[in-house]
Structure 1
């Protein structure tokens, strides 16, 4: 375990290297940081950090740069995450509040996060299995055709057309709508099937076939799709960081085009207040072994229904990036909660 002084030296090396893009020497550390020790002591600490694998010398007579292990310790020992300024928070709020539906929310979010962090932003659509029913609407399209509209707690809207085979009266439609909402509103979509199982029995036998058809179509509407949906923005932001990817940036860009890869990067939902930070070789995809990924969950209230995050070089401003990811996730969560 490193003592406080060596941790301070490591922190200074990470901060300087992220800022300057140049290997860091002992004299620069003494000049730029109030470490309270002599250059000789800093050199000894740097030698110890190098021996333990936290920093490395890219070439002879150069300064030192952090390794994946060094970045990991830096992140694990972060005492503060850089907060967004008041102006930045107002800009985030104004930009996201203009969204008109879930698709708009996701696409605004991914563009905003890419702009703020100047890295690649990735946003996962909320999955139906983690959503609850907010409301079900039945709309008459013709004498026998209806439109079922499902609105979830995450703002997702699903629609299905159903032909009940006979003319339905407005009073019947109001009755079905009211009873359907009474048993499913506020329930997780995973409980929808059990919630509506007895619904046809609540109606007169003469209209049960129509109710059964409506219920069956409703259940098709809430059925979970197996494929995940991902929105990505800002891949061009990585081009200026090309030198940070030890061999070539091409494998990184190609990996980011794969939906399966992105889903693996986002991983399991972490919760709105928690972070997952994968650095270099910690990533589950070999093509991204020179990148870092910062993700967090988002969703209404304390419930996380999906993840969002950024992908960038390991030479990343971790406190600033984590602050931006956290701020955007909070605003998106508030929008989904209807606040």
Structure 2
């Protein structure tokens, strides 16, 4: 069966082909009732827009790159990366674009040239960089290309790169205040290893800074022996709490730099006979869905992944359309108090 054309849809719907085109392009001047009617006709006729033809007419590819740095296996093994990618893909598709995942595995020129070729050949209209572990010098090079790109989950005050990030630091400052109000005085920190030695202002550093600033604001001393850096995993959290126990220093609260390590801390603490939250409070960061399913339910800092994806996409669309847009946006976080602390 031949594919239905735009003019056939227009005839069936009793509207002009310009109206059908306006519906396809999400034009704001189309009445809601007309939009719903035309979309129902398109679905009934199984109409498929010719994206290639639209791209030729508009000189656009209708493709957005979603760029990660490092091996693909590491990204797909991390639930955080998977949730972020899913949110970005869903949001970009709402704008009528398809997403092209792309992995940069090094900062060498051949790799960067291959990535740039996608822009030079007109195969990408823009890109969102999952920049949390991008080396600084790579971001500096990409910024010099003058193509529409937005860095996501990276605070870069010294680089005029369009960016959207979360307020990691403030989240952990609030968590320390919350614990201090409970009269917790020996608050340990289980941090994640820096995401990249060539990367400054990453989320690992921001969360650690939030912990230290929170202690200072609460009038509590920073105790280096209560700081352990692990590998962001469940087992990393377990091993970190073992180290804290073996140190012999009293601990009445643990803040972990992500939920996976926080759950590992809880498991190890319970097996060691600690009562949560009576004599040990545990706080995580991310607010993944599983944080509500464990026992006790995890107190954690909510990281608004969906909001960050929406803001990054809005910023990128403004750059592509050459509209005046805010170049940097910080997404707020908030503490979610549950049973663990």
- On whether the aligned pair clears a TM of 0.5, the verdict is no
Normalized against structure 1, the TM-score is what?
Answer: 0.26
The structure that has the greater radius of gyration is: 1
Using CA pairs below 8 Å that are at least 6 residues apart, which structure has the higher relative contact order? 1
Normalized against structure 2, the TM-score is what?
Answer: 0.26
